[in-house]
Amino acid sequence: MGKLILLLGGARSGKSSFAEKKAREWGGDNVLYVATSETKDEEMCQRVQKHRDSRPATWETLEAPLDVSSAVRASNRTSRVILVDCITFLVSNYLMAASEPVGNPFGLPSADPFDEKIEFAVRADVDALARYAHDYNVTMLVVSNEVGMGLVPEYDLGRAYRDLLGRANQDLARQADEVYLLLAGLPMQLKQAGSL
């Protein structure tokens, strides 16, 4: 029986560092690191490279910007620890694939960002990821941002994104064995196995 651990926090809260530390403790050199970000500009390329340099070279890296559950299922053979970083990008990737503004990144969405098909795809992917963690003998650490504590976004895409990520986080938290909230690098356990 596997274990699902959800790590939530704001930007630069320490959630990825905490997840990597736990992955090292539990998996040593045998960790599958699942990256959901896409490198579409120079700044993102530099961020990704910095992340790669901070991880042990022995960790296998799987890039899965969409359909992360299928990618994990297809690739993981021996890793007993899987770190998915992060659901934040995964949700953004789904939203942008369906409704990215054409020509102007700050323009109006090209399709309805509140389309139920987008939410269905996101929630199906995170549910399948949670099932994988529980069906196989793995410890899966899943990192995601908490974006519901700020102002209501002014634009459709921002509101749709906040709603999608919030629902995905709720789905994961409901299925997780443990949930942590990180603030200023300090982890606070919100849920432990057998609670709620």
d(C-alpha 191, C-alpha 150), whole Å: 23
Greatest alpha-carbon pair distance for the chain in Å reads 49
CB 173 within 8 Å of CB 114: no
**Residue 153 burial by CB count (10 A; 0-12/13-18/19+): exposed, middle or buried?**
middle
> Which position among 51, 55, 80, 191 bears the catalytic label?
51
Q: How far is CA 125 from the centre of its chain?
A: 11
d(C-alpha 79, C-alpha 93), whole Å: 26
User: Nearest CA to 157 among 104, 80, 95, 81?
Assistant: 95
Mark whether 134 is an active-site residue.
no
**Residue 196 burial by CB count (10 A; 0-12/13-18/19+): exposed, middle or buried?**
exposed
| Catalytic machinery residues | 51
